[in-house]
Amino acid sequence: MTEPIWLSVDLVVAIHGEQLREFGGPAGLRDPGMLESALARPRNKWSFGEEDLAVLAAAYAFGVARNHPFVDGNKRAALLSLITFLGLNGIDFEAPNSEAVVMIQGLASGEIDEEGLARWIRDNWPVEAKTTVATKAKPKAAKRGSKRAMKTAKKLSPSAPKKRR
């Protein structure tokens, strides 16, 4: 099985910065070690034989949402990490915004566990997609997923006014 394309610290920090520019909130990485820990979670699962992309994506979201590495925007960063990881690995993930908000808020509060999030991801999986690592990434899927994720992230944002450009 081909190893997935993983998220880097720099990529997640950039994703976080993008959503802060779009929706507002204080910037800052509260704890770099907690971000590194969150991003190591799916790699650890992979090293022990986990190949299900839904499980690996859920591990990213769980780690970011629960480790709370950023000053603000952790739930938004968790959702964007999940969708970006899937997109980088050829999955054009799309779920109803209202469900995504409920799932990520539930994950952050402890009402939804990592396994429950992985089930939800699979329930919203594109019909044509494989559940294990894709052999060829589709960058367009990552870009489309990221745009949708940004719209959903807005719903996870506190009522901060949108910045004018």
Comparing CA positions, the residue from 55, 16, 43 lying closest to residue 153 is 16
pLDDT of residue 152: 53
Comparing CA positions, the residue from 151, 95, 87, 88 lying closest to residue 119 is 95
Domain-embedded: residue 133:
yes
Domain-embedded: residue 164:
no
pLDDT of residue 127: 76
pLDDT of residue 136: 42
Domain CATH code at residue 123: 1.20.120.1870
Rounded CA-CA distance 67/23 in Å is 21
Domain-embedded: residue 7:
no
Where in the sequence is the domain holding 146, given as residue range(s)?
Answer: 29-156
Rounded CA-CA distance 77/6 in Å is 15
Domain-embedded: residue 110:
yes
- Sequential pLDDT tens for the chain (165 residues): 699 999 999 999 999 999 999 999 999 999 999 999 999 999 999 999 999 999 999 999 999 999 999 999 999 999 999 999 999 999 999 899 999 999 999 999 999 999 999 999 999 988 776 655 544 444 455 555 555 555 555 555 544 444 433
pLDDT of residue 80: 96
Instruction: Report the number of distinct structural domains present in the chain.
Output: 1
Domain-embedded: residue 11:
no
pLDDT of residue 137: 43
Domain-embedded: residue 13:
no
Domain-embedded: residue 73:
yes
Amino acid, single-letter form, for residue 79: L
Domain-embedded: residue 22:
no
